[in-house]
Amino acid sequence: MKPPRAWIGAIAGGAALLVIPLVANSFWLDQIVTQALCLSLVAGSLSFLIRFGGQVSLAQVAIVGAASYALAYLGPNSSGLGPHWSLAAAIPAALLAAVLVATLIGMLAARTRGIYCLMITLAIGVTFFYLARQNYSIFGGFRGIAGIRRPEIAGLSLAGSVPFYALCATVAVLAYGAIRQLGRTPLGVALTALATNPDRVEAAGYDIRYLRILAFALSGVMAGSAGILLAWFHGRISPGAVDVSSIIQILVIAVLGGMGSLPGALLGAVLYLLLENFAIDLIGAERFNSLIGGVFLVVMVASPDGLLGLSKRSALLRNALPLGPAGKSPSSDRSPSQPGAAATASSANQGSEIAG
């Protein structure tokens, strides 16, 4: 049984998605809405990993990059690289590349938790950036690969703003629906439990390494779709799309709206792009990073689960409830034990649970 609130949200969201192309001009539709949908898929794949599997990965951008580069290299491009397959062959190949890279990253990260996972995936992401920048035969080196053409679906070209927006919105809705469905399956329940209490999942007889790798592979499908869409959005792919600032950008987006929530990822993406486009009026284009970093800091200090969590918890905050300290996780025998900490049910605990 769905609660009626979820229905209202779904209907309102669907209506908004349909109305937007009618009211938005091309700048808003392209630069804000469509780009926000693509970025929210990337941040959403990170949120997915946090919710199902409890891993905070900074290598999602590398998975996105793997899909973009695979599409650019294998399919038609103007840089004279690769076999120039048709799009019908290049698109599934790009998705497959993303899932493979995600699985590999999962294998490396599956034995780690919390902060260790975060650092290892950060190192993986940065390594991917260097690989893309140094290799000329496949990645096109410093300049990347240009001339990625948008496809035609049933005779309708996606070169225009509105059809491409429709495609991005469809993919985002499908991803959102698929994740909602997954949450109801036994696998989804096991993965959710993995995020909150891995030891218990293991005790119940699951192989948690396998589950974690599976969660990474599934997030790879989502990040890979985003990679294909972003490659089409920009028409090119270069190392700048997978560098440290892009990695941080996705983390900021995932955290701003609310970690582990898909609507939060979209909210974060919209907010980020608005700040990026209108920072000039607020603070001057030069100091955009200070602005976004400052906003990020304030949100993080005020509410660990982002703006969505802030709205939910503002009543709690007024009562000055301490945001629960982490429960003592069995995996770190050196963390000081906090009496009754595990009993705090506030969602503030989620972040610390993950980072145990």
Partner 1 sequence: MQQVAIVLLNALTLAALYFVVASGLTLIFGLMRIVNMAHGSLFLLGGYVGFSISDSSGSWVLGLLGGAIAAGAVGLALYQLLLARFQNQMLRQTLVSIGCAIVMADLMLAFWGAETYQIEPPALLDRVVRLPVAGGYSTLRLYVLAFAVIVGGLLWLLLNRTRLGMMIRAGVDDLQTLRALGVRVRLVFPVTAFLAGALAGLAGVVFGTALSISPGEGMHFLLTSLVVVIAGGMGSIPGAALGAILVGLAEQFGVFYLPTYSVMLTFGLMAAVLAFRPEGLFGVKA
Which residues of this protein are in contact with partner 1, per CB under 8 A?
Answer: 56, 108, 111-112, 114-116, 118-120, 122-124, 126-127, 130-131, 134-135, 244, 248, 251, 255, 286-287, 289-290, 292-294, 296-297, 300-301, 304, 323, 325-326, 331-338, 351-352, 354-356
DSSP secondary structure, 293-310, as one string: HHHHHHHHHH-TTHHHHH
SS3 146: strand
Cα–Cα nearest to 173, from 3, 34, 41: 41
What are the backbone angles phi and psi of residue 237, rounded to the nearest 5°? -140, 135
Nearer to partner 1, 233 or 305 (CB): 305
First-residue to last-residue Cα distance in the chain: 33
Cβ at position 142, least distance to partner 1 in Å: 12
Task: Give the nearer residue to partner 1 in terms of CB position, either 263 or 325.
Answer: 325
Distance CA 8, CA 180 (A): 15
Least distance (Å) between residue 307 CB and partner 1: 14
Nearer Cβ to partner 1 (28/288): 288
Nearest in space to 131 (alpha carbons), one of 144, 121, 141, 118:
141
DSSP string, 208-260: HHHHHHHHHHHHHHHHHHHHHHHHHHHSEE-GGGGSHHHHHHHHHHHHHH-TT
Residue with Cβ nearer partner 1 (79 or 346): 346
Residue 161 or 352: the one with the smaller Cβ distance to partner 1 is 352
Residue 8: which H helix or E strand, with range?
Answer: helix 4-23
Q: Which is nearer to partner 1, 133 or 236 (CB)?
A: 133
Least distance to partner 1 from the beta carbon of 196, Å?
14
Q: With respect to partner 1, which residue has the nearer C-beta, 130 or 210?
A: 130
How would you class 165 by CB atoms within 10 Å of its CB: exposed for 0-12, middle for 13-18, buried for 19 or more? buried
Count CB-CB contacts under 10 A for residue 260. 26
47-75 as b/e, with b when 16 or more CB fall inside 10 Å? bbbbbbbbbbbbbbbbbbbbbbbbbbbbb
Distance of closest approach, residue 251 Cβ to partner 1, in angstroms: 7
**Shortest distance in whole angstroms from residue 4 CB to partner 1:** 33
| Shortest reach from residue 185's CB to partner 1, in Å | 27
CB-wise, 122 or 213, nearer to partner 1? Answer: 122
Q: Which amino acid makes up residue 56?
A: V
CB of 84 to partner 1, least distance (A): 25
Nearer to partner 1, 164 or 296 (CB): 296
d(C-alpha 162, C-alpha 160), whole Å: 6
CB of 323 to partner 1, least distance (A): 8
Compute the least distance from the CB of residue 335 to partner 1, in Å.
Answer: 6
* Strand bridging mode 236-237 / 145-146: antiparallel
